Amino acid sequence: MPIEIERKFLVKNLDFIKESSSKKLIEQGYLSKDPNRIVRVRIIDNKGVLTFKGKSFDGGTSRVEIEKEISIKDANELMKLCIPSIIRKVRYIINKNNLIFEVDVFQEHNKGLIVAEVELYSKKEKIIKPNWLGKEVTGNKKYYNSQL
């Protein structure tokens, strides 16, 4: 089963924007927020994605995650079934220090929140922190998208 290993950080400043290679507009909603089995639907630019996530372990760094591309039509229909409220954010992709950082700039009711995630190959992998990366919030449920 595919295991996602990820660490999450707050972002101190907007310096990451000039380092980004691309950005995407993301709209996401939740069909289930049960911490043992989260089900999320996303529209990324004009593409639909359905994601299933298991319960976090290893201090919040790891969990089972399975993503499947779905049609934009199905994604739009599933959005209508989601638990309020829908999250909208702009995701910036930054390749730095042999890692890929995804920085989410939240909009609407989460405006002002900027969170960076970095997926790792192992829990022991070292991260050289860019100057814009702030306090680590891995495992802090307050910063889980499903809790926003």
Catalytically annotated residues: 30
Determine what percent of the chain falls in helix, strand and coil, rounding each to the nearest 5: 15, 55, 35
Among 10, 124, 147, 119, which Cα is nearest to 63's? Answer: 119
CA distance 138 to 123: 12
CA distance 129 to 27: 28
Six token digits for residue 28: 């996401």
